[in-house]
Amino acid sequence: MPPVSPTILGYVLYWPIFDPIVFQIWLKVFVDPVKWTPAKEGWFKIGSPTVEPEPGKKLITPSGKKYDSLKADDIVFVSLEGRYDEKGLQPSSEWRFHKDIYLKKADAKAVVHAHSPHATAVSAHNKDIPAFHYMIALAGGDNIKCAKYATFGTQELSDNIIEALENRKACLMSNHGQVAYGDNLNSAFELAEEVENICHQYINAIKLGEPKILSSSEMDVILEKVKNYKKG
Could you tell me if 180 and 170 are in contact, meaning their C-beta atoms sit under 8 angstroms apart? Answer: yes
Instruction: Strands of 68-222 (E only): list them.
Output: 76-79, 110-114, 146-147, 170-173, 177-182
94 is catalytic: yes
Q: Cα(142)–Cα(215) distance, rounded to whole angstroms?
A: 9
Q: Cα(111)–Cα(93) distance, rounded to whole angstroms?
A: 15
Pick the catalytic residue from 52, 81, 94, 196: 94
Could you tell me if 107 and 78 are in contact, meaning their C-beta atoms sit under 8 angstroms apart? Answer: no
Helix, strand or coil for residue 138?
Answer: helix
Alpha helices in 56-184 (DSSP H): 95-104, 117-123, 155-164
Could you tell me if 38 and 44 are in contact, meaning their C-beta atoms sit under 8 angstroms apart? Answer: yes
User: Any idea which residues carry the catalytic annotation?
Assistant: 94
